[in-house]
Structure 1
Amino acid sequence: MAAAVRSLRVESLASSGLLTIPAEYVRPEWERLSIVDVLKEAELEAEGKAREEAGPQIPVVDFKGLESGEESERKRVEEEVRKAAAEWGVMQVMNHGVEGEVIERLKKAGEAFFALPMEEKEQYANDQAAGKIDGYGSKLANNASGQLEWEDYFFHLLYPEDKRNMAVWPKNPENYV
């Protein structure tokens, strides 16, 4: 079973020597042209430069209004989150209150986990067919355009707390938790 799962990992495909991306992962040209690099976009915006690319933007939701204590601001933020979740399923959140140092530690722990050998990561593999969604996996469901997603991930159930399973949280790297 583990060998079958391992062969489906995007990392395995990427390191297999393939010269082209398998067709089931290739997005239509219109979609490739419309996706922008959100981080680059934020850099340009911070520098006061205009966006040159055309196409849809991943929604950016500013949580700063939540600090005002005003009901109208809270409702506005809630509506922006609701709209982004319904229309995109993803959003960039600004002014969320998570310290930059914490974000950097999270990034480093994630990078360290994904740098581990495949066999070690597979110890934390999820099994969606059995209803076990938390853990290490590859997104094998088709997206709205019909393609598979080119990604491996580690999914954590945090809430409700009775669904949190610390047994699937990696022991390596030590700073993961």
Structure 2
Amino acid sequence: MAAVAKSARVESLAGSGLVAIPSEYIRPESERLNIVDIFKDEKNEEGPQIPIVDFRGLESEDKSERERVYEEVKRAAMEWGVMQVMNHGIDAGVIEELKVAGESFFALPIEEKERYANDQASGKIDGYGSKLANNASGQREWEDYFFHLLYPEEKRNMSVWPRTPSNY
């Protein structure tokens, strides 16, 4: 895969000795005015709340209950693009292992992570990448990520899944 220049990775930029955030990454004042209140609002359940969907209803014998859950998922996906899922049945130990594997991957040296770099120019979106593009407000996003295509199965490409860490 074609690798992005190391200097274009967020990790490289953050570790380069910068003493200030480059201006192209700074959000407009209007977006920052109430940023300190976000955590207070979340704690007090005020302001916008990420939807919470309880999957327990998916096991119901009542078709209308299952359809209600489907509609909640659909609405959360369409309106937010994200949701918190409760009662999904995934063991907490499995979730913890997933977190450890992800943290271990991102703790690897940049050169190791680059072995799994995506190549969006050629249409290969799965793999390790950096989002350094402008958002709708004109500011640049600041994130490194690893994107996996999982569904549909014919799009799943296990060859880009990291070999290290071994528990990935």
TM-score, with length taken from structure 2: 0.85
Equivalent position of 1:147 in the other structure: 139
Q: 1:85 to 1:147 in 2, by over 3 A?
A: farther
Determine whether 1:132 maps to 2:124: yes
Tell me the amino acid that sits aligned with residue 156 of structure 2.
Answer: R
Using the TM superposition, give the Cα deviation of residue 27 of structure 1 relative to its aligned residue in structure 2, in angstroms: 2.7
- The letter of the residue matching 1:9 is R
Q: Which residue of 2 aligns with 1:165?
A: 157
Structure 2: gaps spanning 5 or more residues: none
For 1:23 and 1:83, how far apart are their aligned partners in 2?
36
In structure 2, what is the Cα distance between the partners aligned to 1:146 and 1:88? 21
Matched AA of 2:18 = L
Instruction: For residues 77-118 of structure 1, give each alpha carbon's deviation from its aligned partner in whole angstroms, at most 9, with x where no partner exists.
Output: 222221221122111212111110000000000000000000
The 2-side partners of 1:5 and 1:95 are apart by 42
- Structure 1 residues 134-171: Cα deviation after superposition (integer angstroms, max 9, x where no partner): 00001233334333322111111111222111111110
> Which of 92, 97, 110 is the matching residue for 1:100?
92
- Partners of 1:100 and 1:68 lie apart in 2 by 23
Instruction: Give the paired residue count.
Output: 164
Q: 1:95 to 1:119 in 2, by over 3 A?
A: same
**Equivalent residue, structure 2, for 1:47:** none
Measure the CA separation in 2 of the matches of 1:145 and 1:57: 22
Cα distance in 2 for residues equivalent to 1:158 and 1:74: 24
> Relative contact order (alpha carbons < 8 A, sep ≥ 6): 1 or 2 greater?
2
Deviates more, 1:102-111 or 1:15-24: 15-24
